Amino acid sequence: MLTHATPPETDFTRLPDPGPDVFTAPLQRPAEVGEDWLEPAQRQYSAEEHRIWDDLYARQMQVLPGRAASAFLAGLERLDLGRGGVPDFARLSEELSGLTGWSVVPVPMLIPDHVFFWHLANRRFPAGNFIRTRETFDYIQEPDVFHDVFGHVPMLTDPTFADYMQEYGRAGWKAMRYNRLKALGALYWYTVEFGLILEGPEEADGLRAYGAGILSGPTETVFSIEAQSPNRIMLNVDRVMRTDYVIDDLQPTYFVIENFGELYHDTVDRDFDRLYRALGPGFTYANSAVIDVDDVLHRGTQEYALRGGRGSGAKPV
Ligand SMILES: [Fe+2]
């Protein structure tokens, strides 16, 4: 009879303790938040901060049609995120829980991985409480309420994607046990943040973006779909989890799915134990690499990155 050395990761009610050996980012927890990192309430935004939301929203709406996934656009509309000003999390959660059982909860900043996974496993999406300023209007590295709510929350209205996000959170336990959070992080990066989907043949302009990192800014919305520089490769979970990623520039490679059901099954049916045992602690593939097993839709020129990328004046072509 088989015996398990460690209990199966099925208890998602308690916040997991990653233990001393698992690397987690050394984030300083603010005094007002507890172990769950939740702020007591959403902050009160000034009139100018509400205007910043409205201006960011209007700017995105100029580039999203024809480039954003239909599930994303449907979610935006269902939640009426353009009704004016930063959305109220309580109202948003009420609407969202009626659709897919998710809620939106305020956090002060980036939170540790194990806490983030725990919230996802319980269908709570942690959203940054602050909003960028006019000075950081075009680019902000730390996720603010616009990135988190505008970028992520519409997709949570899609039942299959909503389930994928919860399963992703649950998968965090195992990644911690194997100390392979980096690999699981790459999967999040190339799907939830920078994922593309084929809604029809690519030749017939069927490529759309569903990743929040893409859809919360105008430059990458256009770049991810239309530019010649980046590779566009069909998603393979094992391959993606071995692939490095850049956090502060346009992506050299995007991974493409055919539908959200496939993404869900590719993740849930995955034998992560076997995969984690086979993975080294670092990434195998550079973020611009094209390898033998790839099903390549478009092999990028990498011109943007070769010319120096962000800060160099290189055009996102
Ligand atoms: Fe994000």
| % helix, strand, coil for the chain, step of 5 | 40, 10, 50
Feature table: binding site for Fe cation: 147, 152, 193
Tell me how far apart the alpha carbons of residues 267 and 161 are, in angstroms, rounded to a whole number.
12
CA of 271 to the centre of ligand 1 (A): 26
Tell me how far apart the alpha carbons of residues 40 and 25 are, in angstroms, rounded to a whole number.
23
**Residue 317 token pair:** 């072509």
pTM over 0.85: yes
CA of 152 to the centre of ligand 1 (A): 7
CA of 147 to the centre of ligand 1 (A): 6
Q: What is the residue extent of each domain of the chain?
A: 47-306
Whether 2 has a pLDDT exceeding 70, the answer reads: no
What pLDDT, in 10s, does the model give residues 237-266? 999 999 999 888 999 999 999 999 999 999
Of the chain, the end-to-end C-alpha distance in Å amounts to 59
Q: CATH homologous superfamily of domain 47-306?
A: Aromatic amino acid hydroxylase (1.10.800.10)
What pLDDT, in 10s, does the model give residues 109-137? 889 989 999 999 999 999 999 999 999 99
DSSP class of residue 208? E
CA of 214 to the centre of ligand 1 (A): 9
Place of tokens 């399963």: 167
What pLDDT, in 10s, does the model give residues 136-180? 998 888 899 999 999 999 999 999 999 999 999 999 888 888 888
Tell me how far apart the alpha carbons of residues 20 and 314 are, in angstroms, rounded to a whole number.
43
Alpha helices in the chain (DSSP H): 47-63, 70-79, 89-99, 113-121, 145, 159-177, 181-188, 212-215, 218-226, 237-240, 260-268, 272-278, 303-306
